Structure 1
Amino acid sequence: MILIALHETVLAQIGNPTPEAPPASDKILQMVRYLTWLVLLSGVCGITYAGGRFAWEKWNGGTLESPKMIAGGMIGGVIATSAGTIMNSVIG
């Protein structure tokens, strides 16, 4: 009886709030897009550098360190591009 009255008076008035973007969120989202672009550009440059280094190491017969660099760049790129999806699954 008390719970029903509490529900009808207090909890029914709270409702389900709709999400709203905070002020100046467009500038923050633009900065996030710039940072995403910078991360992707650095990943492409890193993989390109590692590919050139791989060819150089193969040509000179040295130890092969560059496959680790290529794998690291690829893994970093996958994490960077799926960061939004990862956060949505953790938060939601």
Structure 2
Amino acid sequence: MTTASAVGETLTVLAQEIRITPTEPPGAPQLLNLVNYLSWLVMLAGIASLIYAGGKFGWERFHGGAVESPKIILGALVGGIIATGAGGIMNAVVTGGA
């Protein structure tokens, strides 16, 4: 057997379609419930940080001093975008973009 034919046979075996039938793991509803609670907590933390940053921004404008609140607002917004997009990103990764 030549090297080319051995490589050809190996590629033929590797190119065969693997059929997978996905099944739900045990405890999946409880895990989904936990993830939903965590997403609510992330949203509440983002809203609380925006309210805190808004109050701090007003305090800094009224009393002067270093202005740090825009960094907090930017961080909260970027974190919210990442947290909101995490579900879609993971769905695209798991399903292969289909």
TM-score (ref. length: structure 1): 0.80
Which of 1 and 2 has higher RCO (CA within 8 Å, sep 6+)? 1
- CA RMSD, 1 decimal: 2.0
Aligned residue pairs total: 83
For residues 87 and 25 of structure 1, what CA distance do their matches in structure 2 show?
17
Equivalent residue for 1:78?
81
> What's the CA shift for 1:18?
2.2
Partner of 1:53: 56
Aligned partner of 1:39 among 32, 42, 47: 42
In the TM superposition, what is the alpha-carbon distance from 1:88 to its structure 2 partner?
A: 2.5
Identity, % of aligned pairs?
Answer: 48
TM-score by length of 2: 0.75
Q: CA deviation at 1:86?
A: 1.5
The yes-or-no answer on 1:27 pairing with 2:9 is no
AA matched with 2:77: M
Gaps of 5+ in 1: none
Amino acid at match of 1:55: G
